[in-house]
Structure 1
Amino acid sequence: MFSSRLLTEILITFLEPKTHTVITTYALKFNLQDIAVGNSKREKVNNIVSYFLKNNDNPEISDIAFELIKELIDKEVFYLQESQIYETEIKEFEDKHPLIYKLLQQDGLAIIDGELKYHVPTTVNIPSSKDEIFILIDKYKFSTPLGHLRQAMNNHENGKWASANSQLRTYAESLFHEMAEKIYGEQHMKSIKKDHLKKAELSKTNPPQFSIFL
């Protein structure tokens, strides 16, 4: 989820200057019509920011926040790029909005090819890591975790960071369960009702898969 400073700066800079009608249009587009209320534009913007921050653990709402911010940023980037065709003195986004540009970087975001995207460090070799994970999952026939992992990666590639995190958590849970089933058998695992106790079974292998205290 985004920092409160980033959310506030972006919405005040790019949304608040718009008319009440345009703000309402954005609210309807992103299903925020019951949130973006108030007598002034600042009040509407503050309510949107507060709503996002209060629900920062909700993947769907976090995705809405990203989509709204992405649209506002992308439109500003496009406007600046188009303006540079006719006016050479028009600045780049990072020059015109240095604070927002810095805050974006701090939250792991970058403007790449004219679009706001999550920025993955070049030291992270995602393609090879992804191939290795799929090879291992396929080898041990972990079908349910595979589905969650694919959804997580699709969400990541589409910039739906919170949904990707949610699917990764589900992937890890289902992976632990299926690992335990492979080791102890399906019937034994079905006799254990609580999820945390199922994962705890992996601490009983020799050597342990992981510590029960983790």
Structure 2
Amino acid sequence: MRNIPFTRPTLIAANEFLADALKTHTQVNKIVLRLGLEDEVPPGNSLGIEKKVDLLGRLVFSRGADVVDTIDGKATLVEAFVRQAVEHAAEHSQEWHQSTFVRGLARDGYVIIWGKDREPNSLRIALPEEVDLPAADDEVRLLLKHFGFATSLSHLDQAVEAHTRGDWAAANAQIRTFLEGLLDEIATSIDSTKAQSLGSSENRRAMLAGVDVGFLGTKRNEWSPDGKSYIHGLFKMLHTEGSHPGLSTEDQCTFRLHIVMVTVRMLLRRLRQGKA
């Protein structure tokens, strides 16, 4: 079975997006036909448009990994659904360009190519497929729950919520707090007495790189006493200068979230495997 390439918040946003964008039963019925769901969604007006789209969304959530035939070839139902939402995005509307749906796609590693001269909008992968951010998000959340890292999970949820509403300053702060808190919780899980005796998060990160723990590798340049390591550089990059309007701030915030999620997945996998 193929992985679902979008996170749940993005799919919810796509469904809400279509509920606002579709104004006629004909528009809804066209999407239903393209997705091969005409037997499950009634074609007439016995259901209102919003209820039809709600039903459509529920079918996508329950059968998202099913493979369907589309104009562009075979795709999972969830992929075809999201691409239909992308095609219906208003071409020149700044409101849609800054919508929760578009931000969700960016968070999942996708970008919309906005159509011109009657060309349809299209969806492109913005990162290598190996990164697979939706799968990383699922795995990170499962591992946080597995280890009982409730505080870190809460900070991750707050970071995603802030990103979803476009509050870049709050998202940046929560992303950094998430990473810092996670490393604290990892140190505590390895040696709670020693971790609690240390006075700062920086000291607990140094503990993780100590020869007696070896969770962070000095030979891999993950940590170094002189502060010139990957972890040091990552924390410096996560220090934001504050909230500034414009797309560049959104891009920077999304990049911070992406790189932290990839890093955290590696660290949690390492903790699960008991390897340094």
Does TM, scored on the shorter chain, surpass 0.5?
no
TM-score (norm 2): 0.34
